[in-house]
Chain A
Amino acid sequence: MASIEVQGLTKRFGDVLAVDDLSFTAHEGTVTGFLGPNGAGKTTTLRIVLGLVRPSSGRALVNGRPYDELPDAMRVVGAVLESSGFHPARTARDHLRSIAMVDGIPVRRVDEVLETVGLAADARRRVGGYSMGMRQRLELARALLGDPEVLILDEPANGLDPQGIAWLRGFLRWYASLGRVVLISSHLLAEAAQTVDEVIVVNHGRMAGAGSLTELRARQGGSVRVRALDPDRLAGLLADAGFAVRRQGEEVVEATGTTAESVGRLMAEHGVVVLEMTTEGESLEELFFEMTAGRAPDGLVRAGPNGAAGAKAEVGTA
């Protein structure tokens, strides 16, 4: 079964602790978002998974093996990295051919992936004349050469126009639906939210939280404010239902950790007369800030005390 498994990964660059005892698993059939602000250690982690950077301790496995022990690595893992480059004088097609040859991938496949990313018409142009978006597409084409079971993309939306982003989103959903592992990093949760099933949030190299997007959305609910004819009774009902309740003035009851729908159903069930109801939504982005500020919302797996050892999250459909 295809998977990416990171176990107790730590990477120190001199005095800087870039990755701090990070553990997670990305499973097949899901798009996993690897999220965190810039400098959180996302790229370093991905580079360790890809054998480009050596961990100080811990390990990263793809399908149970370290990257450099994979036979024909490109046929197992495809990766799009920001720092990857091109020789400007080489054509896109030749660039891909030079790489495809290493794992014995036929030229036919090179033309196929160029078609997939929409570069077929420009395949014989020198990469030096490519726009940022075209280079990004060419990077994706390279990653797809080996028709890999595992796709890793570092900030894939960078450099793409809105159209390109929409296309990429659809592509990644489709790729995961084939039962493959897709891991994408992003510093924008709202952007990734439209693509991912699972999220792993890192901050300062440590796990800040992890879970499914559905869980996240459930937690993002924020609060529901209700002005009712009988606020005391309403407050009691909400409290009995397990929501955190706070009184605001004479008539208003505020319930957090729930949704307007749940509150509405509850009130209908008990015949409470509602005068006014508003929701104070917390955006995914706010939630993300909260998590990366060191506080993980309830219900999500979070780092241990002081982010120390034992930070471990299982993500995905096991």
Chain B
Amino acid sequence: MIRLVRAEVFKLRTVWSTWLMLGITALLVIFVTGLTASVSPDRRAVTSFPARGSAAWLDIVFSGMTVAVYLAIVLGAVMITGEHRHKTITPTFLAEPRRGRTVAAKLVVALGGGLVVAVVAGFVALGVGLVLVGVGVAPLGAVLTEYRHVWPGVAAACVLYGAYGVGLGALLKNQVVTIVVALVAIAIVEPIIGLVAPAAARWLPGSAAQALESLAANARSHAAFGGSGGVHLVVWWVGALLLVGYGVVLAALGSLTTLRADVT
């Protein structure tokens, strides 16, 4: 199993798409946090929007890191769908014919991959925070405190979403379909369910991730993500368990159905 995990890490390291995804993560986090920080409250005409430089405002700025979860999903999804796409699944299964083991190794590595995505996002967001300190918008102490509130939740969500991506990929196999399904589910379907049936929506992956992201932070700030503000989120650790569950169940289904299928 250790060998399989090492092989999966090596596969990730040796293709540029992995580095591209990390680059995109950095750019998106700069874009979202920077944009949030540069928009002034009065221009947005949102009465409840916290004052510039306040703890709640910093919270919202740092929540921009949550965009990284999308990249974590894509990273996990590509780990398995990329093998189907480039037909490397054949040599992979020839080397380890017990397919469930390969999927398990990918799940493990995707957790780590999600963490790497979160670390990249964290560094970039911290940079943005330091810029805010530099231009005198907020004091260093406040920036670091709010950063510490937001990052762990985002990191936990990224880690688990990586595994979720592998699970979904194992089930759907097709790269484009997997990524589209994952993103549409979180960005469009879940918010709609959140509006229609908020009680059910809290059990869905997106809300579970949000629960994680609100780990220690001000709940108000998380309306920024996904727009399912009306959903009463579950406790963070339930959110974590939910995401683990989704990843494992999808991967298990994938191993039982799609991965049992003939490779031709």
Contact = CB atoms under 8 A, between A and B. Distances in A.
B232 interface: no
Contacts of A104: 3
B263 A103 contact: no
A207 to B, nearest CB: 22
A318 interface: no
Nearest to B92: A99
Contact of B17 (A47, A50, A89): A89
B7 A52 contact: no
Nearest to B6: A101
The main secondary structure of chain B at its interface with chain A is helix
Given A47-B264, A53-B264, A87 B90 contact: no
Contacts of B16: 89
Contacts of B10: 94, 97-98, 101
A113 to B, nearest CB: 13
A300 interface: no
Interface in A79-116: 79, 81, 83-91, 94-95, 97-99, 101-104
B15 A89 contact: yes
A51 B97 contact: yes
Chain B contact patch, size range: 20 to 34
Interface in A102-141: 102-104
Interface centre among B17, B92, B94, B97 (most CB of A within 10 A): B94
Given A52-B262, A90-B15, A74 B95 contact: yes
B91 A142 contact: yes
B95 A86 contact: no
A102 B87 contact: no
B98 interface: yes
B3 A52 contact: no
A73 B264 contact: no
Given A83-B264, A98-B11, A102-B3, A73 B82 contact: no
Given A47-B264, A52-B262, A104-B3, A98 B14 contact: yes
B7 A85 contact: no
Given A73-B97, A90-B14, A102-B96, A47 B262 contact: yes
Contacts of A70: 97
Contact of B93 (A52, A90, A95, A98): A52
Chain A contact patch, size range: 20 to 34
Interface string B6-36: 1100110011110000000000000000000
A212 B41 CA distance: 86
Interface string A43-67: 0000100111110000000000001
A230 interface: no
Interface in B231-264: 260, 262-264
17 contacts: A47-B264, A51-B93, A51-B94, A52-B93, A52-B94, A52-B263, A53-B263, A73-B95, A74-B94, A85-B86, A91-B14, A94-B10, A98-B11, A99-B92, A101-B3, A102-B3, A103-B95
Interface of B: 3-4, 6-7, 10-11, 14-17, 82, 86-88, 90-98, 260, 262-264
Interface of A: 47, 50-54, 67-68, 70, 73-74, 77, 79, 81, 83-91, 94-95, 97-99, 101-104, 142
Given A77-B94, A94-B10, 15 more contacts: A47-B262, A47-B263, A50-B94, A51-B97, A54-B262, A81-B90, A81-B94, A83-B264, A85-B86, A85-B88, A89-B17, A90-B15, A99-B92, A101-B6, A103-B95
Q: Which 10 A-B pairs have the closest CB atoms?
A: A85-B87, A68-B97, A101-B7, A84-B90, A102-B95, A53-B262, A52-B263, A94-B14, A51-B97, A87-B86
